[in-house]
Structure formats: structure tokens, C-alpha cells
Amino acid sequence: MLTVRGLSVRYGRSVRALEGVDVEVPADGVLAVLGGNGAGKSTLLRAVSGTLALHRGAITDGEIVFDGERIDRSSPAAVVRRGIVAVPEGRQVFARMTVEENLRTGGLGARSAAARSTARDRVRELFPALAERAGQRAGLLSGGEQQMLAIGRALMSGPRLLLLDEPSLGLAPQMVGRIAAIVREIHAQGTAVVLVEQNATMALQVADHAVALEVGRVALAGAAADLAASDEVQRLYLGGHAESAEQAAAEVCAAEQQRAGRRLARWTA
């Protein structure tokens, strides 16, 4: 679905954020992008979503191809129209607007009123708490609920590819497990996902494929299960998570996965 070839990105005249990056996202998969602060993860999503210029960045080499057509010179609005929608780091909901109003803004990119209605039903199935709080200001939601709203708002346009930037950032282990299950369910419903995460444990549990960036270059790439089992990934990305946090997230994720299966059965019936 998405191919990034030889991508290099600069900020200003001197800061090189990506250098010769190659990435492929299959139409039926979840790709995890791992790496520490400054590795270039968010820059990669900005390049794909067409928002680099908003951060004073620019592509200096390479190309980005989506569904057979180049998009590296496309505007953010054109990228959304093609079916790629990003959820930026930090949730960034419209705090003074209600939950329903936030969702309506996401629906502005839908192809038709019927598609918008279908997307709203999907969001309500995925996030029952948002339906219950439809009239509440988004700024009064908990951090986890705001993250759900940010994802739900992105889904309102019916994307074919969803870009998620650090969705677990700042959340408790139980909420991380819920977000992981939601990503799985979104994928099961037919949306490809690029998941940028510092929480490698969660990302590799959810993803089919993974790449690890280091200082703007691809250091490792392959099947998520293979990377999770490798000594280098264990040392660099999986050694710092407390066992109790991992267990809590895994338990919640398993429970959410069971509920997600039931919701998916209703959605596809």
C-alpha cells in the first residue's frame, strides 16, 4: 500500500532527520516504527502525511508512493483525500469543543454523508465511552479518553491507512493495553496502520512488521515476531519495561481483544 524509498529529510539547512530510509507498509498489515527520541519516527509520519513544511522540514531526496502514485509532493489535504490520516503525538483534541463536535471535524474528510454515518457507527462501536460523553467538552476527558477521541476523530474520514504517533505516551499500563487492542481491531476491520512507538513491548505485540530507526536511518527491519525475539531488540528496546507493567498491559489487552472480537463480529455481520 505504501512504499518509502531512499527518503531523506532536513529541518532548516543543517539538521538532517532522515537519511536514505526505505519502508514498506502492506495493505493488510500493521507496521511498528521503533526508536528513541530523535530517531526520526515522527519525521517519517510527517513526510507521509504531507505536514513537514508545517514543522519547517523538507524532503531532500527519495519518494513516497501510495497505492501506485507518488504523494511526496502532495498537500496535507490531498493526502487525506487519498485515504491517509494521521493522529499526532500528544492527542491534540479540540479542548473547548464537545466530543461530538470533535468527531464532526474528522468527518469533514469523508467521501459522502453515507460514509460519514457509517464511520460514526464504527467509532461508537469501538469507543462506547465517547458515545456516552458526546456532549462533554473534550478538555474534560481523561488522557486515555482523549487518545480514544483523537483516534476516533481520525477514523471519521474512513481512512485506508492510519498513522499513529505515540498513542500510548503518558498512559497507565491498563490503558496501554486497551489502545493496543483497539489498534488490532481497527486493523481487523480493514485499515492498515503505521504505529510509531517508544513502547516497543506494546508495538511488537500489535504489529506484523517492524522497523527500528536510529539517528535517522533504518537499523533493523523484519517481521515483528522476529525482531521481538532478537537479542539486539531485547537489549535496546525491551529491557527497560517493568514486568508488572507488561503483565498488566497484556492482561487488559487480552480482555479487550475478546470484547473486540465480539464487536467485530457484529460489525461484519
What is the model's pTM? 0.85
Instruction: Evaluate if residue 264 carries a pLDDT over 60.
Output: no
Domains identified in the chain and CATH numbers: 2-83+160-268 (3.40.50.300)
pLDDT for 195 equals 97
Please write the tens of the pLDDT for every residue from 31-45: 999 998 889 999 999
3-state secondary structure the chain: CEEEEEEEEEECCCEEEEEEEEEEECCCCEEEEECCCCCCHHHHHHHHHCCHHHHCEEEEEEEEEECCEECCCCCHHHHHHHCEEEECCCCCCCCCCEHHHHHHHHHCCCCCHHHHHHHHHHHHHHCHHHHHCCCCEHHHCCHHHHHHHHHHHHHCCCCCEEEEECCCCCCCHHHHHHHHHHHHHHHHCCCEEEEEECCHHHHHHHCCEEEEEECCEEEEEEEHHHHHHCHHHHHHCCCCCCHHHHHHHHHHHHHHHHHHHHHHHHHHC
Please write the tens of the pLDDT for every residue from 44-85: 999 999 999 999 999 999 999 999 999 999 999 999 999 999
Instruction: Evaluate if residue 252 carries a pLDDT over 50.
Output: no
pLDDT for 260 equals 54
